Chain A
Amino acid sequence: MSSAGNNPLPRAGHTLPRASSALPWALVTPALGWTLLFFVLPFIAMGFSSLTAHEGGGFTLSNYSQFFTNPSYWQAMVNSLEVTAIVTVVSVLLAYPFAWILAEQVPERWQRLALMLAVLPFWTSYVVRSYSWLLVLAQNGVVNRALTGSGLISEPVHLANTRFATITGFVHFFVMLLTLTIFANLKQLSPSYRKAAADLGAGPVRTFLHVVLPLTLPGIMVGAFLTFVLCIGDYITPQILGGNNELLMPQLVMMQIGRRGDFPLASALSIILMAVVTIAYLACARWLKIERA
């Protein structure tokens, strides 16, 4: 049927059969077609929609100009960037020592279990995870009870429906994710690097600062980028934990659909959000490539 099998090939993998029949196209077309129809086409539709007015009529840039002129829209982007930046930095700072302890201080045979435990809550549904934090941080929830009970404070603190709550919910999720990626990174590090540094007279602190940290930096960058992308696009965590006191971009997008059915404006805001992520990607591309090699 195909001439592929008859080609004399010197070494496997180096010369692949030529696409001489229809078979290879029959294999890849369904996946390509699906992506074109349900990913590329929707994106084009969204692009067109963003250039029309909600009230109808011809092409307009008003949806985009609204973003730049309406301070509350602009503010949502600023909030999103601030929250995402704080979440990324705090998560990395919390997760790195934790991953280091798991990789260096925990005995080898317990490491698998220790890591599995550390990411177990990762598998709770993410709507439920945010709700759980709401329980913890509520006015008469566990944290407030513990604080008032121990006499540290006399009145319950307002923790839920604040930026603090949103950040806590996000950090909880990303500490687990980053622990996984940084742990993998630390384990890949050959012990001979550390031995060499020790042989050359470096103490543990110097070895860490000059050998281990720089070598794991690419992995941290990949994890930080992943955190940025997932965090800035998430609607659930800020909606459940932050409430409507201050809006983040995904909440602003959903609000246009939910309350007003304004698809054009929602499309424009989505595209702006995506543009910001793309810029972040381009800024990080230098470090992200290292992993692909």
Chain B
Amino acid sequence: MYNKGTIIPGLIIFVLFVTFPIWFNGLKAATVPKPELPPGGEKKCVESVEYMRANHMQLLNEWRDNVLRDGNRTVVTVEGKDYRKGLQQACMQCHSNKEKFCDSCHTYAAVKPYCWDCHLSPKEAVSKEETH
């Protein structure tokens, strides 16, 4: 083998790059997040659990467009229960703890939804009210 002095370090760098997740994690798998169920004990949502786990972001996006862009605030009625379209008005009414519900999965999957650029989590809302 020729040019060992450059080729072997080069190959080591390559293998280190490819195996980045292996040595970065140190063989420790992170615990899978378990989002907190509504503290109030509600069992029904606007859609099934599977649908919400996979598609909640699309539903929220659709509601955002309905309400803010089209002015369509039609109440969603599911099995006799009315939901007003909105993160704080519908979702957070039951899933009241953002940190234990939303953030648990979002942090795990490195998702940074920009909901909170405008919205306040219930906790933040309370602290804002106190300062006024």
B is bound to A: no
Q: What is the interface of chain B, defined by CB distance below 8 A to chain A?
A: none
